[in-house]
């Protein structure tokens, strides 16, 4: 189901291709191919804080003025830098997405407590006003290196998905270093349970759920999906799944982390940001080889029962080659249906971490169209 907003956009863009537009080259090695409608945007350069070199310079400058010695003892000063930089980037991304989100036709219910233990963590619900019955639901976990970010960061994107006929839920969770592992995992698991238990009230079909996440949120989503579908893994975590495996029709993973041992080799701005967040989240600087790091590495926890998967990554995102491609291959080897949207190294401009939210890029609309096609199939 498309709302009037997207019917009008579709009429303008059906039949076009993205091969000759900025960032619109076709992915070259998807495991599965879906058709869809790409909303064709104008081009706009990335803001300065999405450019790795400048991010590094800014971070170093702030660290120098805030007391570099303190960052060797505790992750907190560096976490504050990460939050500041990410908040700037998130504000720009939200504004970019908002230009494409429907202004009408989508209803919202905000700040619904879901945890049962910590009422400070809440979720937001978006539904199409034209909905005629229980809707399939997408539950989205925001990114932010486990130490920053907010459910509001993905609000425009979820309004876009809701306009296609889905209930969408954006989940907040407790951030590090104020909270530690596995608080966020437990809370996302509880959010699924809340949505399922309150299905009638929320107007959703609890047997057609899709879990989703970006960046650190993709890691959290993959971990909750793994504990839902792998009883041994759930027992190892000491977390009881709140929904049954059959309720999870699929999972959407954008630019996530699935192997912390490999992540330890990541350099540059992304490596610094993830290392900072993981130190704060796990409580140890040696997170890559720690017991927590092994539990978080879902590449070792997935089974053939893992939900059908949509996974995307940009060609200029180091996590694509290091994390997303190996994870997609592991799932495919297990027999899990995988729709992978990766782009060739020749894609120009390069698609950075978080590119699916950069809706001024044609490649982001290609990915959105593929995402919607995936949702249509797995929730049918």
Active site residues: 215
Residue 7, CB-side half-sphere exposure with 13 Å CA sphere: 6
**Shortest CA distance to 130 belongs to which of 264, 226, 4?**
4
Angle of helix 216-229 relative to helix 183-197, nearest 10 degrees, comes to 70
To 10 degrees, the CA torsion angle through 268, 172, 279, 91?
30
H or E segment at 271? helix 268-282
Residues 184/118, Cβ–Cβ less than 8 Å: no
- What single string gives the DSSP state of each residue in 9-42? HHHHHTT--STTSTT-PPPS--SS-------PPP
Find the angle CA(138)-CA(29)-CA(331) to the nearest 5 degrees. 55
Give the C-alpha distances (Å, rounded to integers) separating 324 from 14, 263, 367, 379: 30, 11, 15, 23
Token representation of residue 319:
């996590």
């Amino acid at each position: 189901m498309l709302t009037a907003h997207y019917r009008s956009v579709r009429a303008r863009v059906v039949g076009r291709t993205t091969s000759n537009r900025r960032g619109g080259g076709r992915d070259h090695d998807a495991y599965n191919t879906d058709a869809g409608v790409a909303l064709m945007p104008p081009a706009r350069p990335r803001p300065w804080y999405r450019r790795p070199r400048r991010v590094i310079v800014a971070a170093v400058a702030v660290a120098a003025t805030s007391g570099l010695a303190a960052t060797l003892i505790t992750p907190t000063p560096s976490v504050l830098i990460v939050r500041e930089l990410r908040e700037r980037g998130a504000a720009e991304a939200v504004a970019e997405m908002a230009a494409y989100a429907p202004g009408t036709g989508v209803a919202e219910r905000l700040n619904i407590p879901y945890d049962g233990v910590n009422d400070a963590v809440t979720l937001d619900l978006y539904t199409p006003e034209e909905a005629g019955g229980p809707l399939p639901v997408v539950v989205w976990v925001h990114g932010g290196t486990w130490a920053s970010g907010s459910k509001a960061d993905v609000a425009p994107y979820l309004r876009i998905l809701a306009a296609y006929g889905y209930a969408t839920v954006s989940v907040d969770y407790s951030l590090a270093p104020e909270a530690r592992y596995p608080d966020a995992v437990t809370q996302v698991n509880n959010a699924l349970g809340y949505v399922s238990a309150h299905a009638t009230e929320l107007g959703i079909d609890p047997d057609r759920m899709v879990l989703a996440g970006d960046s650190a949120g993709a890691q959290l989503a993959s971990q909750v999906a793994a504990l839902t579908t792998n009883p041994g893994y759930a027992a190892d975590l000491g977390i009881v799944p709140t929904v049954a495996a059959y309720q999870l029709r699929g999972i959407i993973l954008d630019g996530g982390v699935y192997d912390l041992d490999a992540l330890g080799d990541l350099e540059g701005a992304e490596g610094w940001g993830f290392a900072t967040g993981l130190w704060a989240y796990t409580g140890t600087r040696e997170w890559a080889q720690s017991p927590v790091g092994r539990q978080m590495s879902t590449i070792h926890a997935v089974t053939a029962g893992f939900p059908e998967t949509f996974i995307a990554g940009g060609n200029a995102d180091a996590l694509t080659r290091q994390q997303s491609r190996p994870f997609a291959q592991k799932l495919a080897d297990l027999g899990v249906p995988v729709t992978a949207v990766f782009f060739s190294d020749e894609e120009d401009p390069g698609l950075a971490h978080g590119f699916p939210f950069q809706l001024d890029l044609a490649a982001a609309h290609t990915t959105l169209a593929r995402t919607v096609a995936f949702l249509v199939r797995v929730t049918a």
